Amino acid sequence: MIRKIVKYGDPVLETPCDPLEEFDTEELQQLVDDMFETMYDAGGVGLAAPQIGLLKRLTVIDCSCGEDPDEKLVFINPEILVTEGKQIGEEGCLSIPGFREDVKRAQKVIVRAQDTKGETFEIEGEDLLARAILHENDHLDGILFLRHISALKREMIKRKIRKLRNKGEWD
Ligand code: NI
């Protein structure tokens, strides 16, 4: 089921999430399936639980946009263990549609997380995958990519969003 994606301005996006503690349930599998479906429908490569209004430490990522099942990744209670290097590239967010800006991120990350069964795993990501992991992880701490751009650009985007909201084009 496609869920509604929460847009910038909703406090749920700027609230730190709680750890997920129940694993291996039908509800969790359904939630993960819904998150992938919602993300593919919106054309994104990552989605975090708070973006569908749920304050839990859960993200899904698929840098192949649904092309390669091996690239479907689920991260529960993720922890970034190592970051290395840097990359600068354009970033967007399904909760801030229509706005993209260059963001500096680590080029490589090692992350530890749990899967839907509660099993712990570690994975190394580079380039786009590293960017997606870091972006989605930020969501779990209530941090949006706007935090990583200049104050001037951030204010400009906020102003444009305010106008859209006043016209009823942002909800
Ligand atoms: Ni995002």
In a domain, 3, yes or no: no
In a domain, 2, yes or no: no
Active site residue 136: yes
Residue 150 has pLDDT above 90, yes or no: yes
Residue 137 has pLDDT above 90, yes or no: yes
**Strand segments (E) across 20-143:** 46-48, 58-61, 73-84, 87-91, 101-105, 108-114, 120-126
Q: What is the DSSP letter of 5?
A: P
The per-residue pLDDT for range 23-74, each reduced to its tens digit, is 999 999 999 999 999 999 999 999 999 999 999 999 999 999 999 999 999 9
Interacting residues of 67 by C-beta distance below 8 A, sequence separation 6+: none
The per-residue pLDDT for range 81-117, each reduced to its tens digit, is 999 999 999 999 999 999 999 999 999 999 999 999 9
CATH of the domain at 116: 3.90.45.10
Interacting residues of 97 by C-beta distance below 8 A, sequence separation 6+: 7, 42
Distance 119 CA to ligand 1 centre (A): 25
In a domain, 171, yes or no: no
Residue 36 identity (one-letter amino acid): F
CA 24 – CA 68 distance, rounded (Å): 24
Tell me which of 119, 136, 155, 169 is the catalytic residue.
136
In a domain, 54, yes or no: yes
- Chain centroid to Cα 7, Å, comes to 13
Q: Which residue range forms the structural domain that includes residue 84?
A: 11-166
CA 96 – CA 157 distance, rounded (Å): 9
Residue 87 identity (one-letter amino acid): Q
User: Domains in the chain: how many in total?
Assistant: 1
Distance 59 CA to ligand 1 centre (A): 10
Residue 171 has pLDDT above 90, yes or no: no
In a domain, 128, yes or no: yes
The pLDDT value given to residue 89: 96
In a domain, 21, yes or no: yes
In a domain, 86, yes or no: yes
Distance 134 CA to ligand 1 centre (A): 10
Which of 59, 169, 152 has its CA nearest to residue 101? 152
Count the Cβ atoms, other than its own, within 10 Å of residue 77. Answer: 19
CA 81 – CA 71 distance, rounded (Å): 20
Structure token digits, residue 141: 């701490």
Structure token digits, residue 31: 């939630």
Distance 22 CA to ligand 1 centre (A): 24
In a domain, 137, yes or no: yes
Count the Cβ atoms, other than its own, within 10 Å of residue 171. Answer: 10
Model pTM?
0.97
